[in-house]
Chains A and B, each alone.
Chain A
Amino acid sequence: MSILALLIPLALGLALLALCGFLWAVRTGQYDDLEGAANRILFDENDDLDDRAGLPSPPTSPNQ
């Protein structure tokens, strides 16, 4: 049963790491706008240059 002396601290340490990660996410405001994050992915943020030049969007992949 001496393996427990390793396993219990190991389990606690991993969980503590996850807890720290969660607390960090709360502190940096990542839970402030749950709706926006889900929707932002749908809209391209990098079309400024294309708009200014009046050009259509360049192909995004060399295969196109």
Chain B
Amino acid sequence: MTLANWLPDELAGPACCPPPGEGTAGVPAPPLPITGHLAGIDPEAYVRAEAGLLHLSLVVEGITCAACAPEIERALLRMPGVVTARVNLSTRRLALAWRPGSVLPSSLLERVGRLGYRLVPYDPAVLDAAAAAEGASLLRALGVAAFAAANVMLLSVAVWAGVAADMGPATRSLMLWTSALITMPAVAYAGMPFFRGAWQALRHGPVAMDLAIAIGLLATTAVSLMQTIRGGEVAYFDAAASLLFLLLAGRVLDRQARTRARSVAEHLLAMAARAATVILATGRHRMLPAVNLEPGMRILITPGERIAADGVVRAGNSDLDMSLVTGETVPVAARPGVQVFAGTANLSGALEVEVTAAGENTLLAEIVRLMEAAGQGRARFVLLADRIARLYVPVVHGLALATFIGWTAVQGIAWETALLHAVAVLIITCPCALGIAVPAVQVVACGRLLRGGVLVKAPDALERLAGIDTIVFDKTGTLTVGEPVLAADPVRDPVDLALAARLAGASRHPLARALVRAAPDAGLADGVYEVPGSGLAATIDGHEVRLGNRAWAGVPAGAAESDGSELWLRRAGKPPQRFGFTDQIRPNASATVSRLLALGLGVELLSGDREAEVARVAGATGITRFRSGCTPADKVARLAELASQGQRALMVGDGLNDAPALAAAHVSMSPSAAVDISQNAADFVFQGASLAPVVEALVVARRADRLVRQNFALSLGYNLVAVPVAMLGLATPLLAALAMAASSLSVILNAQRLRGRQP
């Protein structure tokens, strides 16, 4: 396997940045298709003044490779007055600082927009602060635990050697006291994440792994301290310190594996800051935040902008990109009287819309509510580690108690010695290997999937994915590319295609762009003008040529109705020529489906599209079970039906209409081209044009699940040997340390088997 095969498809395609070293000067910037979010958000509201400079925090969309970050930074640093421009590649955030009065924030956004990246301002206090503080405190805890573990181990080795080589009691006492003074504050500080988790488990709910860890840590430290005070020989400070370090290392790695995936989708909060242009009764325009809109107001929507509320068109003609609501990418014509929905993008002409519902009452908000309600059912899923902890904690603590009672009541020895034996049971069954069993595998699995272009977002996503038996696909944008392609037509004259393409070159309409792609060498006709909602026209060789919908091209009313999207060309002396378009199926979609079927999974297709089109895609990909005309609620209902039949479904979808279904499914995936809200709802996000990552993720998840179970078996198996030894009072600190190191190491090494192996 070469490096190139690992790269997500975007990195190889023209969508990526210019090669490094070529710089940005003189390179024509790719056109930005829709600048809706840019146009809608006013960056001024997010500008903060600090230390004589103006600061702005932004989320960068469209970064596909490492070269993007320096490109953006260079472009911004060349703007007058810009002092700092720093892109964080892990979180896709940009920190900007400039001198007051030198440059407008909107021009900074526009400059980066011309490079092909979308910038969304956000409030760092809302978005970053909590997560960053949590990450930093975990790292600090890890540092302290490492310090303690290294030093205590140094002293402990001396004590172990001293047992054999006759160390004096005074020296041993010094060693143990030093260990105690290092371990106690370290446990108190670095153990906080576990103590907090244990406290939560005690107060709210079922037993979790954190409780077992916390009890183990505290008991080990307390008994070791007791032994040290009484001048005893047996102290387990090294066990406590290295347990702490290994568990924290697992946590930190686990967290870092998902930081990037989370931050990509996290900026949904920032999207709420959309503005709308209100037309006042006096005819004047005024910008208002979308939340302040009220029914009855008239708003102006310029081309490229997203509509901020539900409403009815009162004036203007245009084409609307309704993909956010319906999932279909082919634009819908808008003329006075047509109902429009919040979140849809206006493509070609200015529209005047009367608001009928705003804010919480829009269809968009309704879908978001549906999604949140659907997602709550998932909270019932219990992690394997916690399921095991529910068995493990009572059993181990019961054994420790039995040891104590057995030694005092049956053998009649002093209670202090009996307590030491009981704690030895707790220590030797230390949940260390159990606690690392899952993170060790997760880190390797997430890293491997990341190289394959799959981001893992939810902490329990892999575990849930491993258990699925059904896959439900959306159609447009998931099984298909979501971009129209000119359908083949044997009777079409190539001259007509070239003529149509010469007109189409002037438009950004998706169908027109598809025509240009079909005839890239046609060039562009002079004097083409666009009538929004109708089509294009130009005068060529003295005759008017028109390209557009049926009415625009003057197609007689009796002409055969046909399925799918179409454009008509009218030119002098010939009947109108039809150009049909189809939505292209993703490369290797059918191969993916057949592999999934071969893995023994049920495959289903749920779409909001027409029956004929859904049947065509289902037939081409080899899916036999499909439903057409589904609303978002229908999709959720179907997934609930599957769940009630005991099936665990993976939902793969991209549109806003899929978001509730993504949240309702047992586990979910979105392509990286999906709308933000769907990426937010999905557990996995995959990159590239191919559907192959779906299979790859599934195979890796299943292997990871097997390895996790093996890891649990390993650590339980070692407990089976060690616990009787400890119950008989034969455990020593050296034995405990060796057992802990051996079990943790074997679990970590076992997890490495997931690396590099081909599924």
Contacts and interface: CB of A to CB of B under 8 A. Distances in A.
Report if A and B associate in a common complex. Answer: yes
Interface of A: 1, 4, 8, 11-12, 15-16, 18-19, 22-23, 26-27, 31-36, 39-40, 42-45, 47-48, 51-52
B260 A23 contact: no
B620 interface: no
A12 B260 CA distance: 36
Contacts of A15: 147, 150-151
B91 A33 contact: yes
Contacts of A19: 143-144, 146-147
Given A23-B143, A31-B139, 8 more contacts: A4-B171, A8-B155, A8-B178, A11-B151, A31-B135, A36-B87, A43-B20, A51-B25
Contacts of B151: 11-12, 15
B588 to A, nearest CB: 29
A18 B69 CA distance: 32
B279 to A, nearest CB: 45
Instruction: State the main secondary structure of chain B at its contact with A.
Output: helix
B171 A26 contact: no
A43 B25 CA distance: 16
Contacts of A27: 136
A19 to B, nearest CB: 4
B132 interface: yes
B89 interface: yes
Interface range for B: 35 or more
A11 B77 CA distance: 46
B67 interface: yes
Interface in B144-183: 144, 146-147, 150-151, 154-155, 168, 171, 174, 178, 182
A43 to B, nearest CB: 4
Contacts of B25: 51-52
B256 interface: yes
Contact of B171 (A1, A12, A42): A1
B451 interface: no
Contact of B67 (A23, A34, A43, A47): A43
A40 B20 CA distance: 11
B378 to A, nearest CB: 29
A22 B143 contact: yes
Interface in B15-64: 20-21, 23-25
Contacts of A40: 66, 69-70
B88 interface: yes
Contact of B143 (A12, A26, A48): A26
A47 B23 contact: yes
A36 B78 contact: no
B140 interface: yes
B147 A16 contact: yes
B684 to A, nearest CB: 19
B136 A26 contact: yes
26 contacts: A1-B168, A4-B174, A12-B178, A15-B150, A15-B151, A19-B146, A22-B143, A26-B136, A27-B136, A31-B139, A32-B88, A32-B91, A32-B132, A34-B90, A34-B256, A36-B90, A42-B20, A44-B20, A44-B21, A45-B74, A47-B74, A48-B74, A48-B77, A48-B78, A51-B23, A51-B24
Instruction: State the main secondary structure of chain A at its contact with B.
Output: helix
A63 to B, nearest CB: 22
B144 to A, nearest CB: 7
A27 B136 CA distance: 8
A34 B256 CA distance: 9
Contact of A35 (B21, B77, B89, B144): B89
A48 B132 CA distance: 33
Contacts of A48: 74, 77-78
A59 to B, nearest CB: 15
8 A-B pairs closest in CB distance? A39-B66, A36-B89, A22-B143, A43-B70, A33-B88, A19-B147, A35-B89, A35-B90
A11 B21 CA distance: 48
Contacts of A8: 155, 174, 178
Nearest to B70: A43
A51 B178 CA distance: 61
A32 B174 contact: no
A1 B153 CA distance: 19
A51 B75 CA distance: 12
Contacts of A33: 88-91
A6 B607 CA distance: 75
A22 to B, nearest CB: 4
A50 to B, nearest CB: 8
Contacts of A4: 171, 174
A34 B90 CA distance: 7
Interface in B68-107: 69-70, 74, 77-78, 87-91
Contacts of B91: 32-33
Contacts of B174: 4, 8
A43 B139 contact: no
Contact of B69 (A1, A26, A39, A47): A39
A59 B147 CA distance: 46
Contacts of B89: 33, 35-36, 39
A11 to B, nearest CB: 6
Interface string B344-375: 00000000000000000000000000000000
B90 A32 contact: yes
A38 to B, nearest CB: 8
Contacts of B69: 36, 39-40
A42 B19 CA distance: 12
Contacts of B24: 51
A59 B108 CA distance: 33
Contacts of A12: 151, 178, 182
Contacts of A52: 25
A23 B89 CA distance: 22
Contact of B66 (A11, A26, A43, A45): A43
B79 to A, nearest CB: 12
Contacts of B139: 26, 31
Given A4-B171, A19-B143, A19-B144, A35 B70 contact: no
A36 to B, nearest CB: 4
Contacts of A11: 151, 154
B21 A47 contact: yes
Given A11-B154, A51-B23, A26 B140 contact: yes
Contacts of B70: 40, 43, 45
A58 to B, nearest CB: 14
Nearest to A8: B178
Nearest to B88: A33
A24 B155 CA distance: 27
Nearest to A1: B171
B185 to A, nearest CB: 12
B131 to A, nearest CB: 11
Contacts of B78: 48
A18 B148 CA distance: 12
